[in-house]
Structure 1
Amino acid sequence: MLRRWRRWWLQPCGARAVLALALPLVISFASWTVMNFTDRMFLVWYDTSAVAAVLPAGMVQWTLVSFAMGLVSYVTTFVAQYEGAKRRHRIGPVIGQGLWLSLFFLPPLMLTIPLARWMFLAVGHPPHLAELEARYYQVAMLSAGAMLFSAVQAGFFTGRGDTRSVMLVDTAAAVINLVLDYLWIFGKLGFPEGGLEGAAWASTVAQWFKVLCYLALMSSSRYAEYRLADARRLEWPLLRRLWYFGAPNGWQWFLEGAGFTGFLLLVGRLGEEATAASNLAFNVNSLAFIPPLGLSIAVTTLVGQELGANRPRRAERAAWTAFQLAALYTGVLAVAYVFIPDVFLFAYSAGAAGESFDALRPTVILLLKFVAAYCLFDAMNLIFSGALRGAGDTRFILRVGVLMCPIPAVLTWLGTEWFGAGLIFSWVVLTLWTCALGLIYLLRFVQGHWREMRVIEPAVIEDSLEVGVSGAVAELESVSALAKDVD
């Protein structure tokens, strides 16, 4: 047993290697989770109507930005495969193509700001709630450019395996966001009492702070070999290649975001209490979602690097190891959601008006049982879809998105509008949908078509064959040495 555990931990792309890459990302996302948790907590203290508006407004913003985000953030896979193939001079140019594409998407995104109130009224939300949602959306959408730019910049660091820099930038931005949340929501230290809009302004400022931090880091002379100065030039063949592999990823992000947003907007038609309870349950769910998300991005990077070096066995090992870690974490958390849910709700109840929160509590506790039922499958979805992205299997991911993503909104609409179903039916649909997604990506990964896929130029792939052969020899030697050490 000890021998197997040591091999699982120490071998190339084993648990130690996966965690070394993933933990900074987990900390990075966790800092934003804490920020979002506190942001919702402050808004519950300020006004429960405000927290009912935040998640639908934020999800509409995410849905409209998601295609561009999925496209430009795919530079991470290009960077990882160029890094694995030892073609670092190609990394600067691909970062540049991501930035050019980001600029292309900004004008249409900004044009949605005046339409905000109409969008929320159009889906049947009450005028009071639609007004709150529109006010939040109009400020939050000003961060769209920062979201796109920082996604490309983060891809430079994550694709190379430097997730610590991403952690430091994200953590610093989250701290700034957290402080500004308190000051801007409640009007402290000379800040205006902005309430819902104050929360949106705090997030927008923090997002642009990230862009400035990444610019400062990337200006260092130690990155000269990556030719970041070449990022200023349009390189049409590379841009088309990024579009070819990244656009399906972007469409899948859009479809998944649109499906989930449609689900939330339909839940909003069930009333303010149902919306607020769902929002709080999803906010608590982020505790189960964020660590597997960090592991997923780590898997995308490791699979990309190992395939760039023509070492598919290591890439496969990285994915399975990440899933084992994610399963252990989500399993523990699922048990806690079922048996000690009040631990996760204490902070919300501490500062809220007693009657307003007490009305939500039983519903939120019930919804957390659904979260417990699907969180392992959500981790499965994240890990194995991340592995497929690292290989370049984005067209399969797109096909899954086209087929699966409309299901939660369509079934929720049919159930609520035609059969009088309520909140519980909606969450049953969401749970079954999440479980199905996880199983689909697991089966695709097991089939193994991804092992032969690459996103970088064929000439680079051929040049890296020699690297792959030498890497295979090195892996055999390392495994042999590890076995001797264990003995």
Structure 2
Amino acid sequence: MSGPAAELPAGWGATLRRILQQGWPVLVGQWASMAFGVLDTAMTGHASPVALAAMALAVSIYVTVFIGLTGVLHALIPIAAQHFGGRRLADIGRAWGQAAWLSFGLALVGGLAMMFPDAWLAMSGDIDPAVRAQVHGYLYMLILALPAALLFRTVYALNTAVSRPKVVMAINIAGIGFKVLFNWLFIYGKFGLPALGAVGAGLSTALVFWISLGISAVVLRRDPFYRPFRLRMGRPDPKALGELLRLGLPMGASYLIEVTSFTFMALLVAREGIFATGGHQIMANLAALCFMMPLALGVSTGALTAQAIGAGDTLRARRTGAAGLGVCMAGALLTIAVVILARQPIVRAYTSDPGVGAVAVGLLGMLAFFHLFDALQCMSSYLLRAYKVAVIPMLIQAGTLWGIGLLGGWWLSFGPGAGALAGVVAGLMPGAPVGAGTMWLMASVSMAISALMLQYCYWRVAGRRPAGKLAVPA
């Protein structure tokens, strides 16, 4: 791309190449961002089981808040991408400015939600006081990180919409180096610093987010590519903020529904002890790492589809969606094969504790089924958002992930039906605790139902709606 104008692919081969060209930097950038959680989990896991358990609980709470708020800001992607496809470049700058204002308000909401972690921990039963103290400290550190983290997501959304994902990729890769250094200093207490464990991981994350935001501000100001957009904050515009919120709130709710399903799963699994909590955290972290591939392809395919919609090209929009679905499923199958074949060394890289490792290896027996449908529902969701359809996916995910996965999982794991699936868990996930195994089994079933329903909705929407018309959020 030589300048700030959409260059849309013309055929199937060109479409696939464009998806991959835009998808791989998103994937590398997401992996780099995800490396923060991997580093925190691995480095605290080698510090102590208490630090790893605290990390499992604290990260679940933080991710719940952060992902939900991020989803609201990601409404900028289809909005700006449609402007980009239609060559309305100045509208992109106005939309970004309003998203920046929105990020400030969301940071306040998120900070308040994390100030009272005991409310989140109430369902985890009797938690070791040492674990509880580190959870508090980690979250307090991340309250400081939240304003920078959310404003940086508007930069991510802007670059995704205008097909410049390498900018954020480079910043995230640079952040890994800072993260390793700060984790080493603060988790283990080097050069006379106190060993803070999980709290040190939170402090290092806060520092890295502020550094990343500073770098991105320099790029946006000095790179001539962004000048035609006339990026500016301006004054808060109720109409523009309303458009962001009408699309962003159901998108954020969808993100929140998915992440809370696993947040509350972590809090419930904590009832089975430190080994189960640590093993579940490794499984969840690895599943999230695998998710980065379909997420990257979904982001790139959704942005390119929205650009085609903005340009009024119905055929190209549908072709892009179909190509993205095909490459996403192929990538999911490859990911599953790698993880299943290498699960023993993967778990050893996460923890040196044999009890935690045994639980994690057992739970990984469910990863193949879970990831396949997780990838499908991710791509389907992003394609629907390209058409500005967000409410229907939110309702589908609420019914399946909360109703079947979370509520059904609780019922069969720790509620009146506890132990009903013990034989199934033993067969599919040998070595996994019954409660944790049942929760992952029900999460997988709910994900499969959600993915198939979202696929049905996508083909209905893409088949009946002229791509040149901006869709009202549905």
CA shift at 1:296, angstroms? 1.0
2:409 maps to amino acid:
T
* Contact residue 135 and residue 199 of structure 2 kept, 8 A: no
Is 1:202 aligned with 2:198?
A: no
1:185 to partner: Cα distance? 0.9
Gaps of 5+ in 2: 1-8, 420-434
Report deviation, 1:167. 0.7
- Name the residue aligned to 1:373: 369
Evaluate the alpha carbon distance shift between residue 143 and residue 157 of structure 1 in structure 2; reply closer, same or farther with a 3 A threshold: same
Change (3 A) 1:118 1:246: closer
Aligned-residue offset at 1:444? 1.3
65-74 vs 308-317, which deviates more? 65-74
**Pair 1:320–1:11, CA change in 2 (3 A):** closer
Partners in 1 of 2:300 and 2:311 — Cα distance? Answer: 17
Higher deviation after alignment, 431-440 or 160-169: 431-440
Q: Is the 8 A contact 1:81 1:455 kept in 2?
A: no
Q: Which residue of 1 aligns with 2:228?
A: 225
* In 2: Cα distance, 1:430 partner to 1:218 partner: 41
State how 1:101-116 maps to structure 2 within 5 Å: 101-116=102-117
Identity in percent: 20
Match of 2:58 in 1: 57
Structure 1 contact 120–134 (Cα < 8 Å) conserved: no
Aligned amino acid, residue 125 of structure 2: G
> Could you say which residue in structure 2 is the equivalent of 1:327?
329
Structure 1 residues 113 and 438: CA distance shift in structure 2, 3 A: closer
- Give the Å deviation of 1:344: 1.3
- Give deviations 1:173-205, integer Å, cap 9, x for gaps: 222112211221112245432211111111111
Write out per-residue CA displacement over residues 8-27 of structure 1, whole angstroms, 9 at most, x where no aligned residue: 99746522111100000111
* Amino acid aligned to 1:399: L
Letter in structure 2 aligned against 1:386 = Y
Structure 2 partner of 1:418: 416
Unaligned runs of 5+ in 1: 1-7, 459-487
Deviations 1:401-431 (A, max 9, x none): 3322323221222121223332221111011
Structure 1 Cα separation of the partners of residues 469 and 356 of structure 2: 48
Letter in 2 for 1:431: S
Per-residue CA distance 1:341-362 (angstroms, 9 max, x = gap): 213123234xx3xxxx212223
Q: CA deviation at 1:162?
A: 0.4
Secondary structure in 2 aligned to 1:314? helix
Bigger radius of gyration:
1
State whether residues 318 and 462 of structure 2, in contact with CA within 8 Å, keep that contact through their aligned partners in structure 1. Answer: no
TM-score (norm 2): 0.88
Name which of structure 1's ranges 271-280 and 186-195 shifts more when overlaid on structure 2: 186-195
Q: Give the superposition deviation at 1:226.
A: 0.5
Displacement after TM superposition at 1:168 (Å): 0.7
1:351-390 pair list within 5 angstroms: 352=352, 357-390=353-386
SS at structure 2 position matched to 1:232: coil
Q: Which residue of 1 aligns with 2:6?
A: none
Alpha-carbon distance, 1:144 to partner: 1.5
Amino acid at match of 1:44: G
Give the equivalent residue in structure 2 for 1:395.
391
Structural mapping, 1:216-365, within 5 Å: 216-220=218-222, 222=224, 223-229=226-232, 231-349=233-351, 352=352, 357-365=353-361
Greater helix proportion? 1
**Residues 457 and 194 (structure 1), Cα distance of their counterparts in 2 relative to 1, 3 Å cut:** same
Question: Could you tell me which residue of structure 2 aligns to residue 478 of structure 1?
Answer: none
Q: Measure how far apart 1:300 and its partner are.
A: 1.6
Match status 1:444 vs 2:457:
yes
What TM-score, normalized to structure 1?
0.85
- Whole-angstrom distance in 1 between the partners of 2:364 and 2:444: 11
C-alpha distance after superposition, 1:256-277 (max 9, x if no partner)? 2222211221111222211111
The whole-number CA distance in structure 1 between the counterparts of 2:201 and 2:362 is 28
Contact 1:13–1:318 (CA<8 Å) still a contact in 2? no
The separation in 2 between residues aligned to 1:324 and 1:175, in whole angstroms, is 35
> SS where residue 111 of structure 1 aligns?
helix
Name the aligned partner's letter for residue 86 of structure 1.
R
CA distance in 2, matches of 1:119, 1:348: 26
Moved more, 109-118 or 276-285: 109-118
Question: Is contact 2:397-2:450 (8 Å) kept?
Answer: no
Pairwise CA distance, 1:384: 1.3
- Give SS of 1:316's match: helix
**2: CA distance between counterparts of 1:67 and 1:378?**
18
Task: Count how many residue pairs are aligned between Structure 1 and Structure 2.
Answer: 444
Q: Are the counterparts in 2 of residues 337 and 369 from structure 1 also a CA contact under 8 Å?
A: no
1:85–1:308 contact (8 Å) kept in structure 2 = yes
Q: What RMSD in Å do the two structures reach over aligned CA positions?
A: 2.3
Query: In the TM superposition, what is the alpha-carbon distance from 1:449 to its structure 2 partner?
Result: 4.4
Contact 2:152-2:216 within 8 A present in 1 as well = yes
SS in 2 for 1:452: coil
Task: Output the CA distance in 2 between the equivalents of 1:384 and 1:125.
Answer: 40
Q: Which runs of 4+ in 1 moved over 6 A?
A: none
CA–CA distance in 1 between the matches of 2:215 and 2:409? 42
Residue 433 (structure 1) aligns with: 446
For 2:450 and 2:104, the matched residues in 1 are separated by 32
Residues 255/374 of structure 1: CA separation in 2 closer, same or farther (3 Å cut): closer
SS of residue matched to 1:269 = helix
| Equivalent-residue separation in structure 2 for 1:438 and 1:86 (angstroms) | 33
